[in-house]
Amino acid sequence: MLHLTEYSNSATIRGLAAEIARISRRPARIMEVCGGQTHAILRHALDTLLPPHVHLLHGPGCPVCVTPGDYLDHAIAIARQPGTIITTFGDLLRVPSATHGDLFAAKARGADIRMITSPLQALDFAREQPEKQVVHLAIGFETTAPANAMLAYLARERGQRNVSLLVSQFLVPPILRHISADPANTPDAFLAAGHVCAIMGSAPYEPLARELRRPIAITGFEPADILLGVLAVIRQLEAGEARMENMYPRVVHPAGNPAAQKIMDTVFQIADREWRGLGMVPQSGLALRPEYADLDAAQRFPVSSSPVAVASNADCPAADVLLGKLEPCDCPHFGTRCTPDHPLGAPMVSPEGPCAAYYLHRHG
């Protein structure tokens, strides 16, 4: 039980904040790349404990937020076909597609869309209803990829022919390269997400920090975890250094989880991937290997045009929010036209989205 208290101890938190203020002399823009980190920062008001010249940016670390609208259009089109079952986590249901509304509306119109807690539940549905085609929406970062890969692997092993995956898996290091290539908006340092690194390990971030010439601190999600990461990168920035530091060693190890990496490598290969609002980022995602192409829902259910369309809202500056260029509360629609009940875009829909986090913790 110790870790439930020592990383949220108020004296520890204030001591870390005081040390950051003591050593920090130059302006610093630090981007966290996980929605869980964003919520921790806002829930505990950690940004208010920092010197005014140390600014925390909220990056594209919400997988639901960066899932493309076209992907959701494809999912809705599949859901409308008779004899199909769509499985998904609940946070994807209300995310707006490019032209056809959202999955929740499709479900309300009669589509068989089922919320699950594990991708392997799709195998149960497929076994129980062999006459149906079960399509799992495989989205997320490296944290969800092993479980989605295991679904494909077991479907192949068990000969479950009525299962397929519609894949939109993302990778963190390529998007950090993409962000760092923008000279007008490059953060000075990054806070990497502990759960992603628990899978992939801390080792890949060592050469990445050198390549980007920016400090990277791997952190957990408790208040002291976040501030330990901020302190680590501030020390480096003040010393003119750029290294990876693992500030979450109780969970993250250099090699990560080899078993999870093995199943990922067995089923997936690296591919170009489109990010909502950010466009196509080369080699930034995962796709099914050719050996698993028969389980690819994109091939099993090709995209076809539909006469029914709902115009997407072009007023949402989601890309600027997800790149740290615009704080949610500075968006002219925040809290007025755009709320969790009536969202204009994905950053307000997803519980991990920065706009939803600001609305929950900062909207009076």
Rounded to the nearest integer, the mean pLDDT of the chain is: 92
Residue 213 has pLDDT above 50, yes or no: yes
For 50-54, 79-83, 152-156, 337-341, which range has the lowest pLDDT when averaged over its residues? 337-341
| Pairwise CA distance, residues 261 & 55, whole Å | 34
Domains of the chain, start order: 1-307 (3.40.50.11740), 318-359 (no CATH)
- The whole-number pLDDT of residue 20 equals 98
DSSP states along 55-122: EEEE-S--HHHHS-HHHHHHHHHHHTSTTEEEEE-GGGTT---SSS--HHHHHHTT--EEE-SSTTHH
pLDDT of residue 362: 87
Q: pTM score, two decimals? A: 0.92
Q: Check the CA dihedral 247-194-351-335 and report its sign.
A: positive
Tens digits of per-residue pLDDT, 295-307? 999 999 998 654 4
> Beta partners for 189?
30
Give 85-109 pLDDT, tens digit per residue. 999 998 888 887 878 788 999 999 9
| Beta carbons of 118 and 88 less than 8 angstroms apart | no
